[in-house]
Amino acid sequence: MPDIIRNGVTIDDNFAEAFPMSGTGILITAPNAKWARQAALTMTGFATSVIGCGCEAGIDREVPPQETPDGRPGVRALLFAMSSKDAEKQLVNRLGQCVLTCPGSAVYSTVAGEFEIKVGDALRQFGDKWQMSKVVDDRRYWRVPVMDGEFFCEGKVGLTKKSVGGGNLLIMGADWDKTMRATEAAVSAIDGVADAIAPFPGGIVRSGSKVGSKYKGMSASTNDAYCPTLRGVTKSELDADIGCVLEIVIDGLTDNAVREAMRAGLHAIIEMGPEQGAKRVGAGNYGGKLGPFHYHLKELLP
């Protein structure tokens, strides 16, 4: 493959392969930003990968009080799953266990999708018939009495099947510190892109996987081609100058959100350059036959 070099960083002539997902998003508000963020963090915890968590979720952005329906500080969280049924189950469970329980919280729909998930219409039953419904501007909300006042929740939340999951960047550097520095810069650039999240811890995954395993019954296992410690003993993708590889996985409500997030991340890495950050950037795919969305790195370059 002919390599492309920008600001000293080698960019693989490769592409990220992504899949359609069911995506939904909610706005959580609270009396202050701390508790809005806490509710969103708890709700999006243990949601790194659909393989083991049932969904992928993360914080899209903080929403200032002027922009929220009730004038309180808010946080927008996005949740993605492989089917609308999974998304519904995960969202209702997570709202019930993580947001309903979080002091001061209220929930609003922020996605205008083709489908709707009954959220408040399910959680209202916690009110044991003391709950009250209110319709404002053609949207139904539920007031559920709880110990700190009222949990306020929109009846239905939008869901779109046009979401995309699996956009990714493989960031390769000389050592852990430099690679992490570049990857963190990319994650904070991606944070600024609307409608996209990086669901892994701090937006970063260090255990990239390949399809299949030597063990029976395991569908995925370590991506040995990108493990620096196996460079000599396996069919490695890494040259001698690479000591660490980190990956960013991106889910977005739209195809374009994922593209823009990848672009933002890639630009941040290139801007930092190889001395401070990464030497090389790649992307993961399965040969292009499995996922309908392809994001070629060379098309995202500055």
Q: Which residue ranges make up the site for another protein (CB under 8 A)?
A: 29, 31, 69-72, 106, 129-130, 132-138, 141, 143, 149-150, 152
Indicate the residue among 13 and 70 with the shorter CB distance to another protein.
70
Report, in Å, the least distance between residue 37 CB and another protein. 17
Distance of CA 70 to the CA centre of its chain: 26
Indicate the residue among 71 and 192 with the shorter CB distance to another protein.
71
Phi, psi for residue 24 in degrees, rounded to 5 = -145, 160
C-alpha 194/C-alpha 263 separation (Å) is 13
Indicate the residue among 146 and 227 with the shorter CB distance to another protein.
146
Indicate the residue among 108 and 293 with the shorter CB distance to another protein.
108
- CB of 196 within 8 A of CB of 158? no
Indicate the residue among 102 and 189 with the shorter CB distance to another protein.
102
Report, in Å, the least distance between residue 294 CB and another protein. 42
Phi, psi for residue 108 in degrees, rounded to 5 = -130, 150
Report, in Å, the least distance between residue 24 CB and another protein. 21
C-alpha 167/C-alpha 292 separation (Å) is 12
Report, in Å, the least distance between residue 124 CB and another protein. 13
Report, in Å, the least distance between residue 159 CB and another protein. 22
Residue 165 pairs in a beta bridge with 19, 251
- What tokens were used for 186? 């990319």
DSSP category for residue 299: G
Report, in Å, the least distance between residue 99 CB and another protein. 13
C-alpha 172/C-alpha 65 separation (Å) is 39
Indicate the residue among 28 and 250 with the shorter CB distance to another protein.
28
End-to-end Cα, the chain, rounded Å = 20
Phi, psi for residue 92 in degrees, rounded to 5 = -65, -45
SS3 of 80, please?
A: strand
C-alpha 280/C-alpha 228 separation (Å) is 14
